Structure 1
């Protein structure tokens, strides 16, 4: 459903504007309590804010770990889907979260894919047909100088034709 809405909306507004708006009104993402505050036109940079509020405060007064994870979870995969376009299959495969200290203030995260990183991903997928990319995101305070949490996502990327053939063999 979301991909169909995206295709229609992209005829009228920029992808980055649609994604920011889409994340911020999506019931799944809203429940994380996070808000997307910036998406670059090329989708390679996304910034979010996770405000400390009564909606995400846990028993000891810090931001609930599930809210921190849910805020980070969908973004790297969707970024790659938009950056690589429809020529590739992109799936979340695994995640690891490391809490470093309690989050007792508004939290922020920046998701960035560099041109070199994208080139390396494409080269590895072309060579291996499928590839697992590990993407680290740090959740920090507003100034970015204190890391409260690290989330490492494992993202599966494959050539579309290879993936279709592989899927057909399993069925």
Structure 2
């Protein structure tokens, strides 16, 4: 549903604008309490804010760990899907989350793919058909003090290979 709507609206709006607005109005993302505050034109950089509020404050007054995780969960996957295009399949595969200190104030995270990383992903997928790619993400305060560190592993393949692999598994 979101992909079809995104494709339709992309005729009238920039991808970066659609990425930000559609995430921020999406019910599944709104429940995380996260808010996308910046998206670069090439979609290589996405910044989010997770405000401390009554909606995500835990028993001791810090941001609930589940809110920190869920606000970051879909970003890398959808960001990379948009960068690579429709001929690729991208899935979240695994996330290791390490809580370093409680977030008693607004939290922030920056999701970034460099041109070199994108070239590396494309090259490795061409050579190996499918890869796991891991990114490290820090959730911080406004000054960069780390609240949480996430190791995010993405599965990436060509759509053709993925369909072949799925059809072999169903037989």
Please indicate, yes or no, whether the TM-score normalized by the shorter chain is above 0.5: yes
- Asked if residue 168 in structure 1 is aligned to residue 151 in structure 2, the reply is no
Partner of 2:69: 69
Contact 1:23 1:29 in 2 (8 A): yes
Partner of 1:158: 157
SS in 2 for 1:133: strand
Q: Give the whole-Å Cα distance in 2 for the aligned partners of 1:162 and 1:57.
A: 43
Partner of 2:59: 59
Q: CA RMSD in A?
A: 0.7
SS in 2 for 1:132: strand
Structure 1 unmatched ranges of 5 or more: none
Instruction: Answer with 150-159 or 106-115: which moved more.
Output: 150-159
Partner of 1:32: 32
SS in 1 for 2:86: helix
Q: Give the whole-Å Cα distance in 1 for the aligned partners of 2:62 and 2:158.
A: 42
Q: Give the whole-Å Cα distance in 1 for the aligned partners of 2:105 and 2:34.
A: 13
Contact 1:72 1:151 in 2 (8 A): no
Q: Give the whole-Å Cα distance in 2 for the aligned partners of 1:120 and 1:114.
A: 10
- Asked if residue 104 in structure 1 is aligned to residue 100 in structure 2, the reply is no
Q: Give the whole-Å Cα distance in 2 for the aligned partners of 1:110 and 1:36.
A: 10
Q: How much has 1:135 moved relative to structure 2?
A: 1.1
- Asked if residue 94 in structure 1 is aligned to residue 94 in structure 2, the reply is yes
Q: How much has 1:170 moved relative to structure 2?
A: 1.2
Q: Give the whole-Å Cα distance in 1 for the aligned partners of 2:169 and 2:90.
A: 18
Q: Give the whole-Å Cα distance in 2 for the aligned partners of 1:20 and 1:3.
A: 14
Contact 1:125 1:158 in 2 (8 A): yes
